[in-house]
């Protein structure tokens, strides 16, 4: 999918605030994860879709919310996750992950995950202000 130009289409942006399963049509998009009425999960498409990619950015529109947002693979152990904190805390690497969880609060607004599918797994790079602002589940 071609990237939209400034002043043109917003087709490259998708805002999510409730449980959603992404599709091939979402490849190449920037996914804005907003606070929902409750915690929710965004499920990635099938891992066999080699070349599928998306960038997820947490946006905060409620300082009072403590609802978590999960980005999950459709099956177990399909994510390879590298967590890279902006702070002095140590990062982490998990080669058999099921999901990443953002415990949504103002502290981790603008945390970002870039996910690329290689046809057998989702290669996931997470950048957060601190390693405690994202949880990797296995």
Helix (H, G, I), strand (E, B) or coil at 59: coil
CA pseudo-torsion sign 28, 25, 103, 110 = positive
Find the helix or strand (DSSP H, E) in which 132 lies.
Answer: none
pTM exceeds 0.85, yes or no: no
Strands 53-58, 92-97: pairing is: unpaired
Fold classification of 13-137 is: Jelly Rolls (2.60.120)
What pairs with residue 42 in β-bridges?
20, 71
Report residue 21 as tokens: 């399963």
Report residue 135 as tokens: 């949880």
Domain extent listing, the chain = 13-137
Express each pLDDT in 31-89 by its tens digit: 998 877 788 999 999 999 999 999 999 886 554 556 788 899 999 999 999 888 776 66
Decide if pLDDT at 97 tops 70: yes
């Amino acid at each position: 999918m071609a990237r939209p130009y400034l002043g043109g289409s917003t087709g490259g942006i998708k805002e999510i605030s409730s449980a959603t399963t992404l599709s091939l049509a979402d490849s190449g998009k920037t996914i804005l994860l907003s606070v929902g009425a409750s915690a929710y999960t965004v499920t990635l498409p099938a891992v066999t879709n080699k070349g599928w990619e998306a960038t997820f950015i947490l946006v905060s529109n409620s300082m009072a919310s403590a609802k978590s947002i999960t980005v999950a693979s459709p099956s177990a152990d399909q994510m390879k996750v590298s967590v890279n904190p902006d702070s002095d805390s140590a990062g982490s690497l998990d080669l058999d992950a099921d999901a990443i969880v953002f415990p949504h609060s103002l502290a981790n607004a603008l945390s970002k995950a870039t996910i690329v599918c290689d046809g057998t797994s989702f290669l996931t790079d997470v950048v957060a202000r601190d390693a405690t602002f994202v949880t990797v589940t296995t």
